[in-house]
Amino acid sequence: MKPTHIEHIGIAVNSIEEARKYYEDVLGLECYAIEEVADQKVKTAFFKVGQTKIELLEATSDDSPVAKYIEKRGQGIHHIAYAVEDTDKALKNAEEKGVRLIDKQSRKGAENLNIGFLHPKSTLGVLTEFCCK
């Protein structure tokens, strides 16, 4: 279940409208999509950097995981998402190796990907996502 590449890096921000200025004006990247993921209580904005994407995450409610993250740690890198061939198989494989899962089964995330999270307490403090088409 080796990941093929880093699909995206999720970055928690207070405001996509404010944060995108840095990605567009300083880094020269283009925001190609803005999408709300109601299930995850976030609004997302995507920028491509080669094969990898930057995903800005803005909370859409006070109990959003991103709102809690910013409250505790401030804005910054929130998670790393690895592209895998099969998210459910990758989750099962991680669980068999003793990793605590947040998602026992994949669910739909931004861009209609099948996503699943591993708990940061089991992954050396880095919230880790698997995703596939």
| Nearest residue (CB) to ligand CMX, 25 versus 126 | 126
Instruction: Evaluate whether 116 touches 108 at the Cβ level (below 8 Å).
Output: no
Closest CA to 22 of 53, 59, 52, 47: 47
One-letter amino acid for residue 56 of the chain:
L
| Nearest residue (CB) to ligand CMX, 86 versus 111 | 111
One-letter amino acid for residue 129 of the chain:
E
Contact residues for ligand CMX (CB under 6 A)?
10, 37, 40, 42, 55, 57, 65-66, 68-69, 72, 78-79, 102, 109-110, 117, 119-121, 125, 127
C-beta of 42: minimal distance to ligand CMX in Å?
A: 5
C-beta of 39: minimal distance to ligand CMX in Å?
A: 8
Backbone conformation region of residue 77, classed left if phi is above 0, alpha if psi is from -120 to 50, else beta: beta
Place of tokens 């950097």: 49
| Nearest residue (CB) to ligand CMX, 3 versus 120 | 120
C-beta of 71: minimal distance to ligand CMX in Å?
A: 9
